[in-house]
Amino acid sequence: MIAFSVGLIAYWKIKRRFTVWTLLLSLAAYAGAIALKSVVQYFTAEPFHIAVGGNLAAMGIYIGLQTAIFEVGGAYLAAKIAFSRGKIRADDAEGYGLGLAFWENGVLIGGSALLNFIVIYLTLAGGGTAAQQLFDALSATQPDLFGSASVALTQVGLAVFERFSSLMIHFAWGLLCVFAVAFKKKRFLYLALPMGMVDFLVLYAGILGTLNFEILFFAVCLLCLFVALWFTKAERKNATTVSLSTASEGDMQLKSLVKTNFKRALSFGSVYLILGLALSFLLGAVISGTASVSDDVPLVVSQMFPMMVPVCAVVGSFGGLMVFVSDRTKGVYEYLIAYGVSIYEILWSTLLVTLGLVTVVLGVSLTGNIAITLLMGGSIQPALIEMLLIYTIPISYASVAFMTMAGMIWSSLTARIPGVNSPIGICTLIGVGPTLVVFILSTFLSGSSNFLLLIGGVTLILVALVVTMMVVANKKMNRERLLADA
Amino acid sequence: MLENKNTTYNVENQSVSIGSSPVVLFDSVSSGYSGRKVLEDISFRIDEPAIYVVLGPNGAGKTTLFRTLAGVLKPYSGRVEVEGYSSESQEGRKQLDYLTHIDGIPEGMSVRGALRFYAGIVGAGEADVDRVIDLLKLGELSVKRFGQLSQGQKKRVSVARIFLKEKKVYLLDEPTSNLDPKMASEIRELVLGLSKNKVILYSSHNLFEAREIGSKVIVIKNGKLALFGNISEIKTEKYTIGIRTLDMEEVPYSVGKEGDYYLFELQGPEEVPALTAKLLKKGVQIREVKEMQNPLEELFK
């Protein structure tokens, strides 16, 4: 399913058009909807279930309405904002639908399933008590996993069938939402909204049986796809023409900025990059050393590596902020603003560059440390992989994004004093802050669910702060703040 | 009418008439920084292609005028348009190019890399980069890092950027500042070459440079428009030059001496060649000729 989702996007990129903006926008729309659904269900699912006496139809409407409002309505809202800023065009409609489908099928469901199976495989392959306990648990809860090939293949086939249906319906409402915005035709939105009610069926899967449910689900999704394609026939023909006539240079400018500044950030911040990587390898070596002298490694030490890698990411990705400060001081932004680059694009491009650097640091340090451990005959515990995925990677990106946004705004709002070093140098402390908060608070927590809540909470707060700073800076910050001598 | 002991000229705020879209329009514009007005109630319109020299002493508001026209600063009040589009709109920005008084070249980049960077921003291609490298004779410098260049070379690279894509309006903020006379002259030649069918706003605080390059003038004084008209309207009563000679005790036509320089009072720089020819005829060995004062400095006191 992951390969299929990615393949479709690649195909569409080659055949027509699929931009990074479309991918990010679909992520924002989808992730926002899932987050809102989770919050609503966390507070209301149980009381509602009690209130309706567990009535399936009422619960189906409850679930379906949330999908219609948050997923479809959210997709429309995100498309509207992006379209008004020239980030997407009418001919991005199909790509947007594919993007929504990708985040659900390729990442949320496909990715998490893949991760789950990797952890299961690693645990079972490792043998010992943990493997036996896991095997017993899985045999009881998911016996199909250990069934014959024909049983397993049927399950796989039905799962792929279901994801294919999901892909069709996400594509349908993604397409309709963008066309509703691009052609200013609300009727496309009114067609898309009811499609979210497809989740009404989910609760009837147990009654209908898996096969019947999947067939019915597929039929409904196919109908939605047909409706979307039928009603947008004329618009799809005009989409490219309309898009070309309204296309801005924004995409090109942003691409050029990110591409050039990423290379410059690698060179500018090379010392920090090397420092961040060296720190992560040193950390890996020290922890491996501690583990090798004692089988009974304390929890705090075994978790030290994934806990501290975000600090390495913060240090290693400092080059992005350095480029921003340098360009502001050298008067580059005066030119960029005159050429029509907005404050938002300047901040966003720096953020993308910095997140690119985080990817480099995480990619090299994690794969390098894991490879070294395996080459030296060590083993990678599933708990470590889990910790890296649920803590290290999200907190690294969130902390660095927060540091970079705070640093950019700080730098823009303060006048440079000749002869005094930029205060931006201490921004790393801002970046390290969230890691320390998690580290300190986690010592007071018991249970993995509380730890997950802590990580989720900190990450969400950081993301919310970054988004708020970006919006406020874009709306309220005067352009003169980015001039060299303003 | 403003009067000064050296210079007199007419002062009239140009009224903005309603008609076809001017190339550049300033209509009752006030602008500045952090709420502090630097430009106040400026109005003028430019309809004809020409070089318009923006004159004013340091701090008069020349850079603020350019930044407002380039859409870098949002005016506090009034209307700024380029070819009928708001200067802040994408269409308005597409009509003009802007050379600021600072280089604005990203640190750590090579000359070619910097030009490619800006080409990417303005939508120009590699062929345009090659063309401007040839035009500005930057071939040998193209692989060097910008930081390694001399002041003059840096300015050339900075100027090269405005040739990447053809525009209707060019704003050049003191393009010859910090340049030696030869380099300044080369830059002026390039600007003159650019001027056909274009509107060029060229800021300077040197009246004689202004006379050399343009025929129209916009004079800014204390953030207000002091003059919009022909440069010939600025009359200088006196133009003083100093000439340094080789071992001469007395130099004919001189009105005095200041340090090593013999002083001569002329009507304008156009009389310098005739004076030097006369002095050479009299056997004076000239080592150096220089302006002893800038009439604008006196004017804006």
Residue A276 has a pLDDT of: 93
Tell me if B194 sits within 8 A of B186, measured CB to CB. no
Same domain? For A220 and A335 the reply is no
A484 CB neighbours in chain B (<8 A) are 102
Q: Quick one: pLDDT band at residue B82, thresholds 50, 70, 90?
A: very high
Supply A245's token pair: 């006539």
Nearby residues of A271 by Cβ (< 8 Å), 6 or more positions away: none
Same domain? For A59 and A169 the reply is yes
Same domain? For A194 and A323 the reply is no
Same domain? For A260 and A144 the reply is no
Residue A221 has a pLDDT of: 92
Same domain? For A220 and A255 the reply is no
A478 CB neighbours in chain B (<8 A) are 34, 74
Q: Quick one: pLDDT band at residue B297, thresholds 50, 70, 90?
A: low
One-character DSSP codes across B153-204: HHHHHHHHGGGSS--SEEEEESTTTT--HHHHHHHHHHHHHH-TT-EEEEEE
Same domain? For A242 and A261 the reply is no
Q: Which of B108, B116, B121 sits opposite A253 (nearest CB)?
A: B121
Of A192, A215, A246, which closes a domain? A246
Q: Which residues of B touch A (CB under 8 A)?
A: 33-34, 67, 70-74, 90, 93-94, 96, 98, 100, 102-109, 113, 116-118, 120-123, 161
One-character DSSP codes across B19-34: SSPPSEEEEEEEEEET
Is A265 in the B-facing interface, judged by CB distances under 8 Å? no
Across the interface, whether the CB atoms of A338 and B93 are under 8 A apart is answered yes
Residue-wise pLDDT tens digits, B227-246: 888 877 776 667 788 888 87
**Nearest Cα to A91, choosing from A231, A244, A252?**
A244
Distance CA A120, CA A138 (A): 9
**Nearest Cα to A136, choosing from A122, A146, A148?**
A146
Across the interface, whether the CB atoms of A483 and B72 are under 8 A apart is answered yes
Which residue's structure tokens are 């660095």? Answer: A400
Residue A481 has a pLDDT of: 87
Tell me if B28 sits within 8 A of B41, measured CB to CB. yes
Across the interface, whether the CB atoms of A264 and B120 are under 8 A apart is answered no
Across the interface, whether the CB atoms of B71 and A478 are under 8 A apart is answered no
A460: number of CA atoms within 13 Å, CB side?
Answer: 11
Residue A294 has a pLDDT of: 52
A480 CB neighbours in chain B (<8 A) are 33-34, 72-73
Q: Where are the alpha helices (DSSP H) in A67-193?
A: 74-84, 93-101, 110-126, 128-141, 149-182, 186-192
Same domain? For A208 and A325 the reply is no
Of A217, A246, A275, which closes a domain? A246
Q: Is the pLDDT of residue B3 over 50?
A: no
B107 CB neighbours in chain A (<8 A) are 264, 268, 326-327, 330
Same domain? For A263 and A135 the reply is no
Across the interface, whether the CB atoms of A249 and B90 are under 8 A apart is answered yes
Distance CA A134, CA A124 (A): 7
Residue A240 has a pLDDT of: 65
Interface test with A, best of B117, B129, B164, B167 (most A CBs within 10 A): B117
| Integer CA distances (angstroms), A81 to A284, A342, A468, in order | 44, 16, 15
Residue A293 has a pLDDT of: 53
Of A190, A215, A246, which closes a domain? A246
Domain that holds residue A427: 250-482
Tell the CATH topology of B2-235.
Rossmann fold (3.40.50)
Across the interface, whether the CB atoms of A339 and B106 are under 8 A apart is answered no
Tell me if B165 sits within 8 A of B124, measured CB to CB. yes
Residue A377 has a pLDDT of: 76
Same domain? For A176 and A255 the reply is no
Residue A250 has a pLDDT of: 54
Supply A210's token pair: 């898996």
Same domain? For A233 and A280 the reply is no
B64 CB neighbours in chain A (<8 A) are none
Same domain? For A99 and A206 the reply is yes
Q: Which of A249, A264, A331 sits opposite B100 (nearest CB)?
A: A331
Q: Where are the domains of chain B?
A: 2-235, 238-299
Residue B12 has a pLDDT of: 44
The DSSP bridge pattern shows strands B199-204 and B169-173 to be parallel
CA angle A376, A378, A379 (to 5 degrees): 145
Across the interface, whether the CB atoms of A335 and B90 are under 8 A apart is answered no
Domain count, chain A: 2
Residue A355 has a pLDDT of: 94
User: Closest chain A residue to B162 measured between Cα atoms?
Assistant: A335
Q: Which CATH number fits domain B238-299: 3.40.1000, 1.20.1070, 3.30.1490, 3.90.25?
A: 3.30.1490
| Integer CA distances (angstroms), A20 to A87, A160, A352, B71, in order | 10, 26, 11, 28
Distance CA A8, CA B85 (A): 42
Same domain? For A354 and A435 the reply is yes
Chain B: give the shortest CA distance to residue A322, in Å.
11
Across the interface, whether the CB atoms of A248 and B90 are under 8 A apart is answered yes
Tell me if A255 sits within 8 A of A198, measured CB to CB. no
Supply B117's token pair: 């960077």
Q: Which of A259, A479, A484 sits opposite B102 (nearest CB)?
A: A484
Query: CA A411: distance to chain centroid?
Result: 28
Residue-wise pLDDT tens digits, B131-142: 999 988 898 899
Q: Which residues of chain A have pLDDT under 70?
A: 126, 144-145, 147, 149, 152, 240-252, 289-303, 416-423, 446-449, 485-486
